[in-house]
Amino acid sequence: MTDVLALDAVTFRRSGREILHGIDLTVRAGEHWALLGPNGAGKTTIVGFCAAQSHPTSGTVEVLGKRLGRVDMAELRRHIGHVNPRHPLRSPLSVLEVVLTGFTGTIDAAMRWEPTAGQVARARAAIAEVGLADRETFLWPNMSQGERGRALVARALAPEPDLLLLDEPTTGLDVAAREQLLETVDSLAHTSPEVASILVTHHLEELPETTSHAMVIAHGDVVAAGPVDDVITTDVISQAFEHPIAVDHEGRRWSARAIRRTAPAAL
């Protein structure tokens, strides 16, 4: 299978402090990765490289066969779908208009740009794919967080990217909206089987059923990486989060709970 993403011995320093320490990661076409770890582990920094938004301090990053530092980053980003629940849109764009910004890679509607008939058709197909066909004219300020989340997935998918990044996509969603969004993500394995994805979270309950691989990081180091069943274990998650956590996998969904320490017996 084709390598979609390759990080080799990647480090990153900020204000003289090393945040990532020699990260290796290879993602191939059709694989669905979870990137897990506690707050401050370095997940967002890694996603910045995957999204062609920033460069490592040392090591190499290749995205879609292009090495960062030797490629037009803006052009590369047009082939990457990025779902960020903190999407800073303030304009009253409709769902269709929001999804069309996926073609320009802009937050707001691009000035002096008109979509082609093919792009509009593709945007409408992506909207239908995420279950928003009857809300195409809804305006962003009036939409629920769940509707916004699905619209952003459609925005990422409309240009038919080769790599899809979902950075904590269920942030701010209630349980029903979270489940609807995860169902949408799971459906991508069938509707877009060649697309590779990386979903960032620190909650096991937010992992789609179709997750195939995982990388767990802590303090800027890789704790474990590989097939999801080998990586998401009680030992690995407890080590990464520095707390005894029992991991369960039932009904194709993951869950976690703290392991209660047994109180000493009374004398």
SS (H, E, C) the chain: CCEEEEEEEEEEEECCEEEEEEEEEEEECCCEEEEECCCCCCHHHHHHHHCCCCCCCEEEEEECCEECCCCCHHHHHCCEEEECCCCCCCCCCEHHHHHHHHHHCCCCCCCCCCCCHHHHHHHHHHHHHCCCHHHCCCEHHHCCHHHHHHHHHHHHHCCCCCEEEEECCCCCCCHHHHHHHHHHHHHHHHHCCCCEEEEEECCHHHCCCCCCEEEEEECCEEEEEEEHHHHCCHHHHHHHHCCCEEEEEECCEEEEEECCCCCCCCC
Residue 261 has pLDDT above 80, yes or no: no
Q: Are residues 150 and 168 in the same domain?
A: no
Q: Are residues 12 and 107 in the same domain?
A: no
Range of the domain at 65: 3-79+161-258
Q: Are 34 and 202 in contact (CB under 8 A)?
A: no
**C-alpha span between 153 and 29 (Å, rounded):** 19
Q: Of 135, 160, 185, which residue constitutes the final position of a domain? A: 160
Q: Are residues 70 and 21 in the same domain?
A: yes
Q: Are residues 42 and 97 in the same domain?
A: no
- pTM for this prediction: 0.88
Q: Are residues 49 and 93 in the same domain?
A: no
Asked whether residue 266 is domain-assigned, the answer is no
Asked whether residue 208 is domain-assigned, the answer is yes
Asked whether residue 264 is domain-assigned, the answer is no
Q: Of 127, 160, 193, which residue constitutes the final position of a domain? A: 160
Q: Are residues 212 and 102 in the same domain?
A: no
Q: Are residues 71 and 132 in the same domain?
A: no
CATH label of the domain that carries residue 205: 3.40.50.300
Asked whether residue 176 is domain-assigned, the answer is yes
Asked whether residue 114 is domain-assigned, the answer is yes
Banded model confidence at residue 250, pLDDT cuts 50, 70, 90: confident
* pLDDT tens digits, 151-186: 998 999 899 888 999 988 888 788 888 888 888 888
Q: Are residues 96 and 61 in the same domain?
A: no
Q: Are residues 8 and 114 in the same domain?
A: no
Residue 265 has pLDDT above 80, yes or no: no
Rounded mean pLDDT of 185-196?
A: 85
Residue with tokens 């989340």: 149
Q: Are residues 165 and 67 in the same domain?
A: yes
Our count of domains for the chain comes to 2
Q: Are residues 145 and 191 in the same domain?
A: no
Asked whether residue 265 is domain-assigned, the answer is no
Half-sphere exposure of 227 toward its Cβ, with a 13 Å CA cutoff? 2
217-241 burial code (b ≥16 CB/10 A, e <16): bbebebbbbeebeebbeeebbbebb
Q: Of 130, 160, 190, which residue constitutes the final position of a domain? A: 160
Asked whether residue 84 is domain-assigned, the answer is no
The CA–CA distances, whole Å, from 148 to 81, 127, 143, 169, 266 equal 15, 11, 6, 10, 54
Q: Are 44 and 200 in contact (CB under 8 A)?
A: yes
* pLDDT tens digits, 8-35: 999 999 988 999 999 999 999 999 999 9
Q: Are residues 188 and 174 in the same domain?
A: yes
Asked whether residue 107 is domain-assigned, the answer is yes
